[in-house]
Each structure stands twice: as C-alpha cells, then as structure tokens.
Amino acid sequence: MGIDTAVSTNPATGEVLAKYPRHKPEEVSRHLAKARKSWLSWRENSIARRAAVMQKAALLLDAGKERYGRIISLEMGKSLHEAIGEVGKCAWLCRYYAEEAEAMLTPREVQTDARKSYVCYQPLGLVLGVMPWNFPFWQVFRFAVPALMAGNGALLKHASNVQGCARAIEELFLQADLPEGLFTNLNIRGEEVEALIARPEIAAVSLTGSEPAGSAVAAAAGKHIKKSVLELGGSDPYIILEDADLSLAANTCSAGRLLNAGQSCIGAKRFIVLEEVYEAFLQLFIQTMSAARMGDPLKPDTTLGPLARMDLREQLHRQVQDSIALGAKALLGGHLPKGPGAYYPPTVLVDVKPDMPAFKEELFGPVAAVVKAKDEAEAVQLANRSEFGLGAGVFTTDVQRGERIALQLEAGNCFVNAFVKSDPRLPFGGIKKSGYGRELSRHGLLEFVNVKTVYIA
C-alpha cells in the first residue's frame, strides 16, 4: 500500500509538481500538543510582541513576493501579476493588524452601578482554518493574522492541491519569529476535519469554501458547541441602471468577472441590466470580456490563466451547456478549448432566466450571465432572487440612488460603481447560504475572542 499523499499539479500543463505525504493521526496529535503548548505562552505576550511578528512577516512577504507568487501560479493557475498582488495584500493585512489591533483589543470601561465594570477581549485557544485553493495565501492570512494577533493559535487545513503554498506560509511565519507550532499546517483529508473539530484542543473553526463543506463544518462545530465562521459561495448580482456610465460599468464588471479566472466567491457573476441600456452595455461588455489574454499564467502578458483543476472546468462547462439547453445563448465563448491545461474562455450568456444554472448556481469560472430588467424594482427583485448573499454592486451616476439600492440588496458587501473586494479595514462576510460571521476589520478580530464582562461591586 502506497503512502497517502496530497498531489500538487500545474493546471496549465497537467504536470505533477510535487506529492506531499499526509499527516497520520499520531502526527496530528503531536502537532496539536505542540500548538497548545505554544499557545499557552503566546497568549501571555503583549500585543506589541505579536505585532512585531506581523511586521516582520509583512517584510518577508514583500521581499519574497515574486517567489511566493510563482508558487501560487504554478499550483492553482493564477496569473503571475495577480499572484504577486495577492502576496502584497497579505503584507498589507499583517501591517494593518500590527498597527490597529492594540486599540481594537483595549478593554472598554462601561459605566454601571458597579465600582468598576468593563469589557475585555481574551483569546479562545487554537482556531482551525479550513481554507480553499482559489486565494491560497490571502485566505490563510485573512483567518490566521487576526486570530494570532488576538492571542490565539492557528491550525491550517489547506486544500490538497496547494500544499506547496501551505508549507511556504508555515515556513514564513517561523522566519517571522512566531513560536514553533503556533501556526501549523495539517495535511489531512477533508473527511478527517469533523474528527479534528471534535478534539478538545480545538476551540473554534473558520472555513472558506463551498456550501456543502460549510454545512458539514457548521454541523460538526455545532455538535461540539464550538464557535464557527463560514464564508461560502456567492452568485453576486451587479445592477446596471439606465443612468450608469456604461464604459465604467463594462470595464469594471468584466474585471470583476475575470479576476482569478472567475474563481472567486465574491466575483461578479450575474449582470442585471435595465432594458434602456441593455444593448449598449452588452456590446461594451463583450468587447471588454473578449480582450482578456488567455495563456500561460507565468507569462507577463497573460491576463487569464487556467482554472485550478480539470474537474472544475468540466463542472463549469456542464453548467453553461445546461443553461443553453434551457434557452440561454452564448454570445462569447462557451466552448472547451483544445490543447493541454484546464483553460476556459471568457463566456457571456444572455437570455438567462432564474431557473437556469447560470442564474441560480455559483459559476466558478470566467462565465457571465446577463439578465434584462424592465425597471429598477425588477432589477432589485432579480438581484435578491438567490440563495446566496455575499456581494452585490450597483452602477449609476446618481450616487444617492446607488446607496439607496445598495441598502435594499441582500448581501454582506454592497458596492456602488466598483466591483466588490475585500479590504482589511472593512468587515467581510455574507448572509443566507453565503455563510455567517465576519472576517477583517475589528469585527473579524473579535470573532475568536472571549468578550468578557468584569464587574467589581
């Protein structure tokens, strides 16, 4: 019987890059024991000491961004310039919490009838992060940095196809002087996560991933009465009103759809256009979508790399074909290209209706579903006609109107005249089947702390 391994494969060529032996149960137990021992010391450190580690991590990320970016590109196909940008964003996140966490975690005195009463914020323990492959650095740092700054430990169960990224992050934190074991990558299978959550060493869990994975993790966390945060899928609607700057809208919407080859939970997916400007927007949108340069993600002129795996390409193409069978039309793309690699071309579907996969399911690839609406009210209704609620956008030259509509949209993140993106300074998360809880900002920092009331009579 062979050694159980996680396989890293270059999605642009199909070449196997590396095989990583999975951790056996006894190895997992040793890692958990070491992590808990490290945490018992780490939680006593000052926030300034924790911040020094994050500042050093930021320097290491900046200095190694090309090397780390190449690892990302090779393992999951992201274009190199996007991968380098992802690493830079991780450095920003480290610096943000290094500079802001102390103020966020400062105890807050509350005037009551007590001699003294206040609220303080204490770490919970070891936080397990179950992370996906699509932003293999950013997603990890997004969960781990605030958890560590709050005084917790961080255990990573990363996606099997990006174990090279997982190891690189683990090494980086060690180089940044984080105590050994406090951040640990556990190379285990997905079906082993439930048993891991049940372990007494685990205090809480954060997952970014699919709806089925989120449901399973939430059930396990609930069964064992442990805090969980879920960031799941999305089918983000973008409303283009009749008074929108159509050039801005077309360029922004295509950028939001093609970012990371369309493999983003918060990527723009459904484009709901008022009938007065439908044809004009569609013409501009197809032009901007077709301008993408698909090819080797390591080449500097490539703007659209492959999908991360061949099975993901097959699933996406099936969703496109099933939508066409129900009456949608592909005005651009919609076919499987010849040659090696998990490539899928920019695709624009029109005549999309709510019963079609292109409308009601998450399209994890560079496929846009364009929908016509007769007026603003119908556009909002169509936008909210979804099980998901992660992000949404509105395009209009009347920013007050845009803000009013943004407040009507059922999503955790609503942007006006811009595509939705995460920002360390703002809370990030969804509602409905897009999950619960928040990451980033002070809200994300406080997800995994004991918000403790102290009352002195």
pLDDT(1) > 60: no
In a domain, residue 360? The reply is yes
Q: Is 99 a catalytic residue?
A: no
Please check whether residues 291 and 263 belong to one and the same domain: yes
Q: Does residue 192 fall inside a structural domain?
A: yes
For this structure, is 211 an active site residue? no
pLDDT of residue 2: 63
262 and 250 in one domain? yes
Q: Which domain holds residue 404?
A: 236-424
Which of 201, 231, 361, 439 is the catalytic position?
231
Assess whether pLDDT exceeds 90 at residue 275.
yes
Q: Coil, strand or helix: which one is 277?
A: helix
Cα 101 to Cα 57, 97, 424, 441, distances in angstroms: 16, 5, 12, 9
Give DSSP secondary structure letters for 18-87. Answer: EEEEPPPHHHHHHHHHHHHHHHHHHTTS-HHHHHHHHHHHHHHHHHTHHHHHHHHHHHH---HHHHHHHH
Q: State which amino acid sits at residue 453.
A: T
Q: Single out the catalytic residue among 165, 265, 414, 447.
A: 265
Q: What CATH number does residue 207 fall under?
A: 3.40.605.10
Number of domains present in the structure of the chain: 2
Is 192's pLDDT higher than 90? yes
Residue 269 and residue 215 in one domain: no
Q: What is the pLDDT of residues 161-172, one digit of tens each?
A: 999 999 999 999
- The verdict on 252 and 277 lying in the same domain is yes
In terms of domains, do 294 and 407 share one? yes
Percent of the chain scored above 90 by pLDDT?
Answer: 99
CA 105 to chain centre: 25
283 and 346 both lie in a single domain: yes
Encode pLDDT of 65-96 as tens digits.
999 999 999 999 999 999 999 999 999 999 99
Structure confidence at residue 3 (pLDDT): 82
pLDDT over threshold 60, residue 263: yes
Question: Do 99 and 138 share a domain, yes or no?
Answer: yes
Token duo for residue 224:
């064992």
Report if residue 451 sits inside a domain: yes
pLDDT digits (tens, 9 = 90+) for 14-27: 999 999 999 999 99
Dihedrals phi, psi of 444, to nearest 5 degrees: -70, -35
In a domain, 21, yes or no: yes
Same domain, 262 and 402: yes
Domain contains 429: no
Question: Residue 252's domain is classified under what CATH number?
Answer: 3.40.309.10
For 283-311, the pLDDT digits (tens) are 999 999 999 999 999 999 999 999 999 99
Residues 188 and 336 occupy one common structural domain: no
For 239, phi then psi, to 5°, come to: -95, 130
pLDDT band at residue 347 using 50, 70 and 90 as cut-offs: very high
| 249 and 393 both lie in a single domain | yes
Strands 388-389 and 329-332, by their bridges, are unpaired
Residue 76 located in a structural domain: yes
Residues 24 and 152 in one domain: yes
Statement to judge: residues 271 and 418 lie in one domain:
yes
